[in-house]
C-alpha cells in the first residue's frame, strides 16, 4: 500500500527546543523519519514522504509547502485506491505495528491510530469522501469527519503507533523501547534514563 509520511523538514520538532538545539532537532527528526520509512518498507509497503523541503532519504520525496492537512487531502482527492498516512515522529514504529494498521482497514472505511494527547498518528483511508483535519484534537475530529461522510471506523490500539515524540518526556519512551536510528541517535548524544522518584525522566551526560 502507498503510505504518505508527512514531514516538516525546515523547523521540525520545535517542542523539543528545551533539550535539543536546532541542528540536533533536524538530525533527530530525520532519524525518526528513517525509522518510520524502514518500518513501512519492511512491512511490504511503499512509503512516500510529503515534506515541506527536500530531505535526503531512501524513499520518494514530494516537496509540498501547503499546510499539513491540505497537502494530505490533495493526495486523498487524487486517488481511488486505499491510502495510508503515518506521521514521521513514531520512533518506536515496527513493521508489525504498520501491519496492524493496514489490516484494520480490511473491514472498515477508515482505520485510525490515535496519538497520545488527542492527535492522530496513523490512518488508512478507503472511503472516497474522507478528508483529514490534523492539529488540535484531531483524533476526535477525524471520528466526527468519518461519521459525517458515513465511513465506518476501526480504532487501532497500539503503544507503538500512539507514541509520537513531541515533548521531552516522550524521549523516555524512545530510550526504553526504541530499537532504531532515533534511539541510537539519542544514546550517542548522551541521553539516558533518569530514574528519579515517581516517573522516570531523562538526563544528558556532559
Q: Which residues bind ligand PEQ (CB under 6 A)?
A: 115, 117, 119-120, 134-135, 138, 164, 166
Min. distance of Cβ 70 from ligand PEQ in angstroms? 13
120 binds, among ligand PEQ, ligand GTP, none (CB under 5 to 8 A by kind): ligand PEQ
Neighbours of 87 (CB within 10 A): 25
98 touching ligand GTP, by CB under 6 A:
no
Is residue 43 exposed (0-12), middle (13-18) or buried (19+ Cβ within 10 Å)? buried
Distances (CA, A) of 188 to 22, 34, 37, 151: 17, 17, 21, 45
Q: Which is nearer to ligand GTP, 15 or 204 (CB)?
A: 15
Nearer to ligand PEQ by Cβ, of 47 and 119: the residue is 119
By the rule CB under 6 A, 58 interacts with ligand GTP: no
Choice between 135 and 187, CB closer to ligand PEQ: 135
| Among ligand PEQ, ligand GTP, none, partner that 115 touches (CB below 5 to 8 angstroms by kind) | ligand PEQ
Specify the pairing of strand 2-7 against strand 120-125.
Answer: unpaired
Residue with Cβ nearer ligand PEQ (88 or 205): 88
> CB burial class (10 A; 0-12, 13-18, 19+) of residue 197?
exposed
The span from the CA of 94 to the CA of 37, in Å, is 10
Strand-pair partners of 46: 2
Q: What angle do CA 154, 160, 166 make, to 5 degrees?
A: 105
CB of 120 to ligand PEQ, least distance (A): 4
- Does position 102 interact with ligand GTP (CB under 6 A)? The reply is no
Question: Which residues are at the interface with ligand GTP (CB under 6 A)?
Answer: 6-8, 12-15, 50-52, 64, 67-68, 71, 87-89, 166
Amino acid at each position: 500500500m502507498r503510505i504518505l509520511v508527512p514531514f516538516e523538514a525546515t523547523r521540525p520538532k520545535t517542542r523539543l527546543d528545551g533539550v535539543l538545539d536546532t541542528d540536533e532537532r533536524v538530525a533527530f527528526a530525520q532519524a525518526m523519519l528513517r525509522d518510520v520509512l524502514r518500518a513501512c518498507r519492511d512491512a511490504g509497503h511503499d512509503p512516500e514522504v510529503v515534506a515541506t523541503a527536500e530531505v535526503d532519504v531512501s524513499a520518494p520525496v514530494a516537496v509540498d509547502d501547503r499546510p499539513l492537512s491540505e497537502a494530505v487531502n490533495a493526495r486523498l482527492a487524487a486517488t481511488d485506491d486505499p491510502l495510508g498516512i503515518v506521521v514521521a515522529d513514531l520512533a518506536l514504529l515496527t513493521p508489525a505495528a504498520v501491519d496492524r494498521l493496514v489490516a484494520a482497514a480490511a473491514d472498515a472505511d477508515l482505520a485510525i491510530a490515535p496519538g497520545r494527547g488527542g492527535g492522530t498518528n496513523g490512518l488508512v483511508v478507503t472511503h472516497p469522501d474522507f478528508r483529514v483535519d490534523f492539529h488540535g484534537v484531531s483524533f476526535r475530529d477525524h471520528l466526527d469527519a468519518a461519521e459525517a461522510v458515513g465511513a465506518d471506523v476501526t480504532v487501532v490500539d497500539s503503544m507503538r503507533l500512539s507514541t509520537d515524540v513531541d515533548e521531552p518526556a516522550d524521549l523516555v519512551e524512545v530510550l526504553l523501547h526504541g530499537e532504531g536510528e532515533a534511539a541510537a541517535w539519542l544514546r550517542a548524544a548522551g541521553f539516558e534514563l533518569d530514574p528519579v522518584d515517581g516517573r522516570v525522566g531523562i538526563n544528558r551526560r556532559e
